[in-house]
Structure 1
Amino acid sequence: MAHDIERYLNVRSAHSASFGPNGDRLGFLLDSTGVPQVWSLTDPGGWPEQHTVFEERVTFASWSPERAEFVFGMDEGGNERAQLHRYDLASGAVANLTATPEAKHRWGGWSHDGDRVAFTSNRRDRSVFDVYVQDRDGVGDDAELVFEGDGWLTAGGFSPDDSALIVSEAYSNVDQDVYVLDIESGELTHLTPHEGTVRFRSAEWGPDGESVYLVSDRDSDTLDLWRVDVADGTFSPIASDPDWEIDGVAVDDESGRIVYSTNVDGYTELTVGDLDGDTIDPLPDPDLPRGVAGGVAFDPTGERFAVTVTRRGSPANVCVVEADTGIAERWTHASTAGIPPESFVEPELVHYPTFDGREIPAFFSLPDDDTGAGETPVIVDIHGGPESQRRPAFAAVTQYFLANGYAVFEPNVRGSAGYGKAYSHLDDVEKRMDAVADIEAGVEWLWDHPAVDDDRIVAMGGSYGGFVVLAAMTEYPDLWAAGIDIVGIANFVTFLENTGEWRRELREAEYGSLEEDRELLESISPLNNVERISAPLFVLHGANDPRVPVSEARRLVEAASDHVPVRELVFEDEGHGLSKLENRVEAYSAIVAFLDEHVA
């Protein structure tokens, strides 16, 4: 039985867990009200207690290490100007810690005594982020500016003695630095000096506070796990995989436990152990289902950790793992809205050849009722980023399409994360359209598949994926039965001119600069080639989008409406994407109607 899109969009997810100060309460985000809110459990599988009750999404929640309280983030209408709030569990009282609604605030963690919090914010200058420390009961201007930045700074946690902070600076999605900031003196120690582009990510304090663990591709094409000595900057290798990337690490400074994740062609493998200098004494691998896992959070003893697990056949839920044994127990049971989980389709991991002989990885899913007789329409679903990766996590809309007879093809074209440094740079600046050529090669692969109807192939994508949709429709107009652009870039020049000040420099590092590459950016912008689009087009956007301004959608719709059927849908209370359930229901119901009209 095929359910309507609203039923699929009511499938819930539980994620982003952290333990309360005594380890007897597990907090997490759950979207059962339509947007993520903070809930908690005291027993696995128990009835959860809801704490926050807002119409806006909660973006994270972090429990105090000493008190029955947590800090959470929330923006307004998707504008990404998150404010930090403190919630008291006993009274339910909510205090706005930052109270600067015109600025962005990025969470940096609790001090170990639970008396202070750290964050970065662009409240002084909209184009840069500074580091702040604030008493837990302070409000707004009570925050102390401990370091003035000149770029995109993120605080990464207090040292074990609470005297210092890890601070990361991003120059682009593939180039970062890590520092240690002495809070009292404001002195900044540079741990990762380098030339060229090098990734330094997921930095965590070592148990003694004298070292930092992080992942980096400083000596290889893929991300490896390293230990950095704070005093002298010496790097020591801890773990590596010759083929795949170690993409995250969590360290418990009380127990010396470590968990790191390896991205194996999109699937997560977790490794657990006890730190012993520059080595790890291994513990049993967690007994978790094969899928995508992340968001590791230790309990106060370090004996257990919570982790979010999802796979294409199961929505996100929180499991708790016993570190010594690897035994995992599922704590949350997010609803599947009455849809039998066994009806959800798992994808096939495939690799297809492209124009330069490379093999492009992709996930391909066929509906259960496919006959193999060349009758199945396909949605080519293109991820954003571009330094992102399509992974086999649960996707309600994907399952809806499959249940209604559409196949779904999800390529990780060049520029995607997860496949090494060289692969991520293959689409930089003047090579941008090579990624679009990978999409054309994917369609050729689909043409050779016995199940696929060549005349009913749809391009769909969001953000940078929206650009790829539009570029594929202008470069290869004869391939498509329709296109769906969600918060996509139509013109790189106007996008860079109008995107948020805090992110323009980061995006220029990937796409090219307005000063040096304007002619190239104009030449590859779909809006300047819009007359080539020959298939019906649906454009969706959020009016409050701070990343890709809604003006991109307005110009595109006006230009394309002259010669192809175009539908436009703009949500006044959304930003870069759709977070509210009622808006997602409206948007995807409209997409389904659009496909029924032009493709089915």
Structure 2
Amino acid sequence: AAAAGTAAAGTAAPATAATATAAPAPVTVLLATDHGAQRRRVLRVTVADGRVEATELLGTPDSDVDEFVISEDLSTAAVLWNANGVSALELLTLGPEQQVLVRRAVELPGMVASAMTITDDGELLSLTVEGPNLPPTVEILRTSTGKIEPLDPERTRRIAERSQENYIPELVHYVARDGLELSGWLYHGVGKHGDGGTGGRGGPQPTYIHLHGGPELQSRPVNHDILTALVDSGVTVFTPNIRGSSGAGRSFLHADDRYGRFAAMDDVADTARFLADAGIGDPARMVLGGRSYGGFLSLLVAARYPGLFRGIVDACGMTSFDTYYRSTEPWLASAAYPKYGYPFHDAELLREVSPLARADHISDPVLFLHGEWDTNVLERESLQMRDALGARGVATRFLRVPGEGHKFVRPKSRRLIAAELLDFLVSLGVIAEPNLALLDERIADMKAGALGVED
């Protein structure tokens, strides 16, 4: 069970001479977990007299508990629900034994929230809110009124207005070849480069399919300035949640474990075919990419379905489990074994799902992006794949992002990546020219009044 946002509750009377040798006092814990269920929920677990009793405090059949916090005085709690990737916040007034007396829904100023903290007396709650074209902002909520009190009201208003301009995605559901329901977020390209400004609905569009990392993460409607720059340049962006993603239940989360990786590859191909069949994406101008696991899977799909995509983007993805397991952080390797395979028991499987071992099947041009100081996935993972493809005459490009690790966080780094990615799309004939002007405006807007933000 994955515990998150736990809080201890329950006390016992002080021991006396008569009770000093008595059994330990009962202990009660509230925790968020998917143990024994498809969805993460909040359980009230009591340990007494050597027995464990668990009762469900909060749970729904179609949403996960992302986060749960409770005040030190046990009077107030807050829960963030994840419903198809969109956050919903509830405030809870608690009674004896953490009985929920009142539940209040609170409207959030963005589609996704995280990082909740609550004061000891339960009066104030802080959380980070973001959304498409809405950079993460820290907001304060007064629990007595249930209203957000922005730290910088003017900046929050300005950024919130900007987030409503053409960037609200559409949640799309579709079916894989084996009948499993998949979903994803569709961002219609805007501007002269894609559809003449009709929002991506004037016929099949140049399309970029972006696979999330993890593999157990989830594509959600968050702020992603690089993908937004693609939308500004007329590219329709689709961020799918194929099998192995979180947010759709425990069985779905583990559906890509080990030998399920091949079905996950098929999900990506089914995603591309769905977009083409629906008249959304132009098959001749469709590019696949992702970061970390998403980049790794993109290479595998390119080998399993050569020629399906116009190009591939691999940002810091592993390319050989032989080298990755030996070079990554030990704890990362241990965590990866149940998902991908164990070095000795699954040696044959690991070779089959190593892109480097499948390099001779890849014919699509590939753009590699890698942080200079990445210790999760070393740069040589990209370089060895680039060299293997280059030796076969496959067109490749490589960008080392200075000063970055496994995540790209600096504004100037993200602009560099956006420019390189758009130039790659131009070289493939996917778009005619890039549009970075709006990204530059957003970076300047983000830095305005935000102390400590550096290039």
TM-score in same-fold range (> 0.5): yes
**Residues 1:502 and 2:321 aligned together:** no
8 A contact 2:215–2:293 mirrored in 1: yes
Structure 2 CA distance, aligned partners of 1:529 and 1:473?
9
Superposed CA deviations along residues 360-413 of structure 1, whole A, max 9, x for unmatched, are 011111124246343510000000000100111121122211111000011001
CA RMSD, Structure 1 to Structure 2 (Å): 2.2
Structure 1 CA distance, aligned partners of 2:146 and 2:309?
48
Report matched runs for 1:196-595 at 5 Å.
198-206=1-9, 210-229=27-46, 231=48, 232=50, 233-276=52-95, 277-289=97-109, 291-332=111-152, 333=155, 340-368=162-190, 369=197, 370=199, 372-562=201-391, 563-595=393-425
Q: CA deviation at 1:313?
A: 4.4
Residue type at the aligned position of 1:415: G
SS in structure 1 at match of 2:88:
strand
8 A contact 1:222–1:421 mirrored in 2: yes
Against the structure 1 CA distance between its residues 596 and 334, is the aligned structure 2 distance closer, same or farther, given a 3 Å change threshold?
Answer: farther
Q: CA deviation at 1:353?
A: 1.0
8 A contact 1:486–1:577 mirrored in 2: no
Residue type at the aligned position of 1:308: T
Against the structure 1 CA distance between its residues 283 and 222, is the aligned structure 2 distance closer, same or farther, given a 3 Å change threshold?
Answer: closer
Structure 1 CA distance, aligned partners of 2:402 and 2:55?
50
Where does the alignment leave 5 or more consecutive residues of structure 2 unmatched? Answer: 13-26, 191-196, 432-455
Q: CA deviation at 1:358?
A: 1.1
SS in structure 1 at match of 2:415:
helix
Paired residue for 1:56?
Answer: none
Structure 2 CA distance, aligned partners of 1:555 and 1:256?
56
Structure 2 CA distance, aligned partners of 1:288 and 1:510?
34
Residue type at the aligned position of 1:357: G
Against the structure 1 CA distance between its residues 339 and 536, is the aligned structure 2 distance closer, same or farther, given a 3 Å change threshold?
Answer: farther
With 454-463 and 565-574 compared, the bigger mean Cα shift is at 565-574
Q: CA deviation at 1:431?
A: 1.2
Superposed CA deviations along residues 3-45 of structure 1, whole A, max 9, x for unmatched, are xxxxxxxxxxxxxxxxxxxxxxxxxxxxxxxxxxxxxxxxxxx
Which has the larger share of strand?
A: 1
Structure 1 CA distance, aligned partners of 2:150 and 2:318?
40
Structure 2 CA distance, aligned partners of 1:371 and 1:405?
8
Superposed CA deviations along residues 399-446 of structure 1, whole A, max 9, x for unmatched, are 211111000011001000111110011000111121111110000111
Residue type at the aligned position of 1:203: T
Q: CA deviation at 1:534?
A: 1.6
Q: CA deviation at 1:532?
A: 1.7
8 A contact 2:134–2:162 mirrored in 1: no
SS in structure 1 at match of 2:104:
coil
Paired residue for 1:107?
Answer: none
8 A contact 2:77–2:122 mirrored in 1: no
8 A contact 1:202–1:214 mirrored in 2: yes
SS in structure 2 at match of 1:587:
helix
Residue type at the aligned position of 1:215: A
Superposed CA deviations along residues 57-109 of structure 1, whole A, max 9, x for unmatched, are xxxxxxxxxxxxxxxxxxxxxxxxxxxxxxxxxxxxxxxxxxxxxxxxxxxxx
Against the structure 1 CA distance between its residues 503 and 248, is the aligned structure 2 distance closer, same or farther, given a 3 Å change threshold?
Answer: same
SS in structure 1 at match of 2:183:
strand
Structure 1 CA distance, aligned partners of 2:406 and 2:8?
33
Structure 1 CA distance, aligned partners of 2:205 and 2:215?
28
Paired residue for 1:161?
Answer: none
Paired residue for 2:194?
Answer: none
Residue type at the aligned position of 1:428: D
Against the structure 1 CA distance between its residues 338 and 252, is the aligned structure 2 distance closer, same or farther, given a 3 Å change threshold?
Answer: closer
Residue type at the aligned position of 1:425: H
Against the structure 1 CA distance between its residues 550 and 513, is the aligned structure 2 distance closer, same or farther, given a 3 Å change threshold?
Answer: same
Structure 2 CA distance, aligned partners of 1:451 and 1:428?
30
Residue type at the aligned position of 2:7: E
TM-score, normalization by structure 1: 0.64
8 A contact 1:286–1:321 mirrored in 2: no
Structure 1 CA distance, aligned partners of 2:129 and 2:88?
11
Structure 1 CA distance, aligned partners of 2:10 and 2:166?
42
SS in structure 2 at match of 1:585:
helix
Q: CA deviation at 1:509?
A: 1.8
8 A contact 1:373–1:450 mirrored in 2: no
8 A contact 2:72–2:120 mirrored in 1: no
TM-score, normalization by structure 2: 0.83
With 544-553 and 198-207 compared, the bigger mean Cα shift is at 198-207
Q: CA deviation at 1:319?
A: 2.1
- Identical aligned residues as a percent: 28
8 A contact 2:131–2:163 mirrored in 1: no
Against the structure 1 CA distance between its residues 306 and 485, is the aligned structure 2 distance closer, same or farther, given a 3 Å change threshold?
Answer: same
Where does the alignment leave 5 or more consecutive residues of structure 1 unmatched? Answer: 1-197
Superposed CA deviations along residues 504-539 of structure 1, whole A, max 9, x for unmatched, are 211112111101101111012111111222221110
Which has the larger share of helix?
A: 2
Structure 1 CA distance, aligned partners of 2:211 and 2:322?
22
